[in-house]
Structure 1
Amino acid sequence: LEKNLNRSSYCYISKSGREIVKFDSLLGNEKAVSSMLLEDKNSDYIYIPGVFTSSMWKILKVALSSFKGRIIINHPYQLQLGLTDLKILLKSVEIFSINRFKIDGVVLNSYSVKGRHIDAQVLREKISKESNIPVVDITEVY
């Protein structure tokens, strides 16, 4: 089943490698999925082929916080959550993406109208400890 996920347009919940339930979409089925996850906390994963939004998260938050399996998505851009919701989700459950999302660089504007400027060099140093992706400050370019 897992090998065919990226070609599927259905939302799956799986247990022991077998599909236990399939929905045409998570959208509109959030409450049913939530109930199923709360009833059976031993599911392996839930596959979400489309976007996962903050409104979906609000409905699924309780169920996913006790979910021991993984969430599988096609691509990271499908996680369309606010930063706070995303942080909570990432603490609650493991998320896997079928397709990689390579970051080629970071572009920032260090100037803030409200006076909360960012020191681009400090950011470069922090990022360079983890990766060698370039950080470009547009105020240095123009």
Structure 2
Amino acid sequence: MKKDLSHMLDSFFDDRSLKKLLYTLDEYVHRTFSPVYIPIDVRETKEEYVIIAHIPNAKRENIHLQFVDDTRLLLSVVYDEQIETIDDENKFVHRQRTYERAMKSIFLPYPVSQTNIQASFQDGKLIIRLPQKKTFIPIE
């Protein structure tokens, strides 16, 4: 009897449709409850703000920057990936598509000039240079 129960459990968990269902459920829970987080560093000099966003798995064409107003910049990143695995022995094809969108509002303490902005993306780091609008008055 013990062997029969063990065999039934093994065959139950060996069923491909059940494995696919459990895998899909696991993926759904992971995607729903683990949002994409974009860590950033902000530095300020007398001339500009330098913002470094760490987005290692992003592609340049999927990164978008937009000014909401003089003191807020909106960064959005779309992760759109398709992975295909082919098992020639069992004639099985597994396709998985991932689509996530992450957004980050970056608030600046002072207005910035929307001209002469520079942005570059390399090795998973987006570096944004924003010239400051404020002027410092030297005190003598």
Q: Structure 2 length as normaliser, TM-score?
A: 0.22
Task: Judging by fraction of residues, say which structure has more strand.
Answer: 2
Task: Judging by fraction of residues, say which structure has more helix.
Answer: 1
Considering only CA atoms, is the larger Rg found in Structure 1 or Structure 2? 2
